[in-house]
Structure 1
């Protein structure tokens, strides 16, 4: 992509911010060019946000049906997925999946609940129930 081809249309998902993109200048060197984004960026971001919203609502329905714990809902509500939650908490993915089971979640220690709550930026009280 040439410097003049870097999208500068702007999109509402970036909130007026810019991001760095690499482009080739007139001398053939690769340089960093600030971009306001474009229609493609906006479309992809909105699709990703819709998918996250759908996953959050599906998790909420499972919690209300007693099939999952509030942990799964909060994971998606905070825009995390299982590998990310595993990485930031230090828990194995299989262990987190086990914590999705309501009966296991109810038996978690205060330390484990606090670790989840801290990672998600919420209180333990919020973590224990749906909003």
Structure 2
């Protein structure tokens, strides 16, 4: 891509905090120093759709927690963009154990130490998790 063709779509999802580097060629066809870009439309559309899907999944899980079908661990797993294998690894448990902890009846019996491990992974206070308080989801900046 030529240096003057590097996309500079100002309507990007990074809100000016993130720039990408592209290798571009000058008028004579030689590679120049990397050229920064603030984004381009196809990338912005794809990222927007991905975030909409994440927000939908978080909202659906929140509804299940509020209805009593799942424990707050399920909500915070979705909220922090973790999956079951990664969460299990981070808290030092098997996947089946974490899945079991997502049952409200089992969640109520978890030790303070186990709650603290989950809270550390989710970057929230342990008492917030213990009480079942569901903090709102916000896209990372």
TM-score w.r.t. length of structure 2: 0.76
Q: Distance in 2 between matches of 1:110 and 1:117?
A: 10
Does the aligned pair in 1 maintain the 2:12–2:40 contact within 8 Å? no
Query: Where does residue 6 of structure 1 map in the other structure?
Result: 6
Whose helix fraction is larger, Structure 1's or Structure 2's?
A: 1
Find out whether 1:39 has 2:38 as its counterpart.
no
Structure 1 residue 14: Cα displacement: 0.4
Which sits farther off after the overlay, 3-12 or 46-55?
3-12
Look up the SS of the partner of 1:40 in the other structure. helix
Query: Where does residue 118 of structure 2 map in the other structure?
Result: 116
Find out whether 1:23 has 2:26 as its counterpart.
no
For residues 70-114 of structure 1, what are the alpha-carbon distances to aligned partners after superposition, in whole Å with 9 as ceiling and x for unaligned? Answer: 111112222333234234333333222111111221111111111
Any unmatched runs of 5+ in structure 1?
none
Look up the SS of the partner of 1:130 in the other structure. coil
Any unmatched runs of 5+ in structure 2?
135-141
Closer, same or farther: CA 7–94 of 1 in aligned 2, 3 Å: farther
What's the RMSD between the two structures over aligned residues?
Answer: 2.3
Q: Distance in 2 between matches of 1:110 and 1:18?
A: 39
Does the aligned pair in 2 maintain the 1:9–1:39 contact within 8 Å? yes
Find out whether 1:90 has 2:92 as its counterpart.
yes
Moved over 6 A (4+): none
Bigger Cα Rg:
2
After TM superposition, list the pairs within 5 Å mapping 1:100-115 onto structure 2. Answer: 100-115=102-117
Number of matched pairs = 130
After TM superposition, list the pairs within 5 Å mapping 1:39-58 onto structure 2. Answer: 39-58=41-60
TM-score w.r.t. length of structure 1: 0.81
